[in-house]
């Protein structure tokens, strides 16, 4: 049960809103938002059924010469408190991207309880294929391999979140995005639903709530609802992400604790 919480952030959490700049066009016209900072770290507290479950950290940084337009995003997730006593986990997820957050490769290293697995996905634009390999590092064996067709530009779940932050959807507008996890490629609808004020420990934020349709057989078979709250300003910070699943999982929520940028300073509170 707790492992689902971990997979949620890495594969669908913060994942998230889906995006690609080169596949199905918007159902509604959208406008560009402000560009993202060249370096950013977002720290989250994870809550499961009103219980403190752990911490998540999401970082974005440029990679190589600026002219190459290459980016690297990293996610670190670790359990804490009672959850850690029941099921300890320490997971790392890396994605290398370029251009419009098009994925080049992903690497998911998951150390959970007595298991240690690594999942790699390579996105080959020339062949139009994504290749998936999952390995058991303790047994030194391959667990699963897969391949799926991809367009010239496709995002993973984390690159998709960044892409969503660079466009503007007002309540009532929606768009279609494409995403691949290496096993399947799917187009999904993202809808801006309403403006809401969110009050969390970090402060109060004026936000727009989005729903991303990636579950219920779209990309993942599990029945669930994924909601994302981005600040209603130029930063479009993901201040809250919530997954609602049926019993016995229930709701999993990530709340922003702090944000850090290339200047090294921590930006305080909400707006």
The residue that leads in pLDDT, 151 or 65, is 151
In a domain, 188, yes or no: yes
In a domain, 271, yes or no: no
Confidence check: pLDDT of 75 > 90? yes
Q: Which of 197, 103, 218, 196 is nearest to 158 (CA)?
A: 103
Q: What is the pLDDT of residues 112-128, one digit of tens each?
A: 888 999 999 999 999 99
Query: What is the pLDDT at residue 82?
Result: 81
Which structure tokens are listed for 93?
Answer: 């997820």
Q: Which of 1-5, 98-102, 173-177, 233-237 has the lowest mean pLDDT?
A: 1-5
pTM of the predicted structure, to 2 decimals: 0.82
Residue 222: pLDDT band (50, 70, 90) is confident
Strand, helix or coil for residue 85: helix
In a domain, 93, yes or no: yes
Which structure tokens are listed for 133?
Answer: 């390999």
Integer Cα distance of 13 and 216 in angstroms: 15
Percent of the chain with pLDDT over 90: 51
Query: What is the pLDDT at residue 177?
Result: 79
In a domain, 266, yes or no: no
Q: Identify the DSSP state of 153.
A: S
Q: Which of 5-14, 145-154, 235-244 has the lowest mean pLDDT?
A: 5-14
In a domain, 116, yes or no: yes
Residue 194, domain extent: 2-261
Integer Cα distance of 89 and 261 in angstroms: 27
- Number of separate domains in the chain: 1
Query: What is the pLDDT at residue 256?
Result: 96
Q: What is the mean pLDDT of residues 140-159?
A: 94
In a domain, 225, yes or no: yes
Q: What is the mean pLDDT of residues 15-19?
A: 31
Strand, helix or coil for residue 271: coil
């Amino acid at each position: 049960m707790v492992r689902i919480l971990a997979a949620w952030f890495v594969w669908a959490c913060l994942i998230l809103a889906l995006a690609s700049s080169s596949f199905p066009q918007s159902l509604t016209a959208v406008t560009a938002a402000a560009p993202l900072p060249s370096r950013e770290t977002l720290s989250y507290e994870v809550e499961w059924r009103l219980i403190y479950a752990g911490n998540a950290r999401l970082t974005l940084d440029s990679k190589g010469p600026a002219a190459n337009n290459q980016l690297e995003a990293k996610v670190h997730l670790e359990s804490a408190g009672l959850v850690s006593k029941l099921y300890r986990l320490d997971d790392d997820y890396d994605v290398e991207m370029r251009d419009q957050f098009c994925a080049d490769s992903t690497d998911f290293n998951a150390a959970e309880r007595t298991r240690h697995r690594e999942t790699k996905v390579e996105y080959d634009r020339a062949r139009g294929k994504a290749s998936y390999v999952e390995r058991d590092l303790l047994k030194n064996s391959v667990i699963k391999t897969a391949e799926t067709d991809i367009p010239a530009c496709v995002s993973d779940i984390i690159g998709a979140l960044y892409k969503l932050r660079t466009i503007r959807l007002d309540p009532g507008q929606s768009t279609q995005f494409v995403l691949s996890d290496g096993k399947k490629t799917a187009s999904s609808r993202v809808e801006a639903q309403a403006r809401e004020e969110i009050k969390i420990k970090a402060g109060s934020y004026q936000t727009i709530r989005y729903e991303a349709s990636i579950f219920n057989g779209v990309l993942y078979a599990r029945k669930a609802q994924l909601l994302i709250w981005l600040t209603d300003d130029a930063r479009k910070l993901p201040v809250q992400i919530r997954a609602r699943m049926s019993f016995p999982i229930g709701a999993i929520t990530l709340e922003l604790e702090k944000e850090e940028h290339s200047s090294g300073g921590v930006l305080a509170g909400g707006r």
